[in-house]
Amino acid sequence: MSAESGQAAGRNKLVYYDTNVWIAHLRGYNDEFFQSECDTLFDDMHEGKVKVVVSNHVLSETLHTIRKQVVETAPEGAAMDECNKLVDEKTKEFTGEVEKLKMQQKILIVPTSTADASLKDHYRYVWDKMHSMPFKSLTKTVCPACAKYLHKSHKGECPACKKDVKPKMAYRYSGMGYPDLDHAYMALQHNASVLYTHDKAFKNLWGDPEFEGMKICVFDDKIGWLVS
Ligand SMILES: [Zn+2]
């Protein structure tokens, strides 16, 4: 699948950034590679190379995460009203930024449902997709005592439970969850040409005929953007 086939399928230049992309850009991310890639995506938006279609779902999730992080990283010994004040400040900062981007027409904020797709259609779509789409199970290596993810060549003490262990193989379900399908549906409804996410579950949409013409870029911490 390529960008050319996207144009052929009539997709426009709107792109969809998943919540994890917004958060990495606004709040930082512990992986510098992902962080800098997300900053680049936002540079593209500021330079007018793309317009970002952003659903109320993304804005709500982003705001919720920002508020949680503010409280959880409040200075030691901070009083409750100090925490609340910090949350208020960050909320205003975020909503102000969103409003500015909207005025500058760099983003298009869309409600959960569109004029030609009712809320009922939306939830029916998510449900139908949820139980009908195929999914892949992945393997992972974990601590046999506490199930923490360990590198497959790990030897010695588990960093979580401190027991001396040999990792064992386990499976990881990689199907799309309800909020993932919500994002996918929004991107589809608004004809986004590209969707960017850090969530591996989105690989399940690769090759899905319904998403023909939409590039689905899933970030891999070692390789970078993997494209359908
Ligand atoms: Zn352990």
Spatial separation of the C-alpha atoms in residues 190 and 181, rounded to whole Å: 14
Say if residue 67 is in the same domain as residue 15: yes
| Rounded distance from Cα 162 to ligand 1 centre (Å) | 6
Say if residue 121 is in the same domain as residue 67: yes
Say if residue 9 is in the same domain as residue 48: yes
pLDDT tens for the chain, 228 residues long, are 333 333 333 445 799 999 999 999 998 877 899 999 999 999 999 999 999 999 888 999 999 999 999 999 988 888 889 999 999 999 999 999 999 999 999 999 987 666 566 777 888 888 999 888 887 788 889 999 999 999 889 999 999 999 999 999 999 888 899 899 999 999 998 889 999 999 999 999 999 999 999 999 999 999 999 997
pLDDT at site 3: 36
From 88, 103, 106, select the one nearest 43 (Cα to Cα).
106
In sequence order, the β-bridge partners of residue 217 are 196, 227
Say if residue 126 is in the same domain as residue 141: no
Which residue, chain included where needed, has tokens 């900062």? 93
pLDDT at site 7: 38
Say if residue 27 is in the same domain as residue 76: yes
| Rounded distance from Cα 158 to ligand 1 centre (Å) | 5
Neighbours of ion ligand 1 (CB under 5 A): 143, 145-146, 148, 158, 160-161
Say if residue 109 is in the same domain as residue 157: no
Say if residue 27 is in the same domain as residue 67: yes
Say if residue 31 is in the same domain as residue 49: yes
CB atoms under 10 Å from CB of 187, counted, come to 28
If one counts the domains in the chain, the total is 2
- DSSP string over the chain: --HHHHHHTT--SEEEE-HHHHHHHHH--S-HHHHHHHHHHHHHHHTTS-EEEEEHHHHHHHHHHHHHHHHHTPPTT--HHHHHHHHHHHHHHHHHHHHHHHHTTSEEEE-SSBTTB-HHHHHHHHHHHHHHS---EEEEEE-TTT--B--TT--EE-TTT--EE--EEEEEE-PPPHHHHHHHHHHHHTT-SEEEES-GGGGGGTT-GGGTT-EEEEEETTTEEEE-
* CATH number for the domain harbouring residue 216: 3.40.50.1010
| Rounded distance from Cα 171 to ligand 1 centre (Å) | 17
Say if residue 165 is in the same domain as residue 186: no
Q: Quote the domain boundaries for residue 66.
A: 3-132+178-227
| Rounded distance from Cα 141 to ligand 1 centre (Å) | 11
Say if residue 164 is in the same domain as residue 74: no
Say if residue 220 is in the same domain as residue 144: no
Q: State pTM to two decimals.
A: 0.82
Say if residue 16 is in the same domain as residue 66: yes
| Rounded distance from Cα 145 to ligand 1 centre (Å) | 5
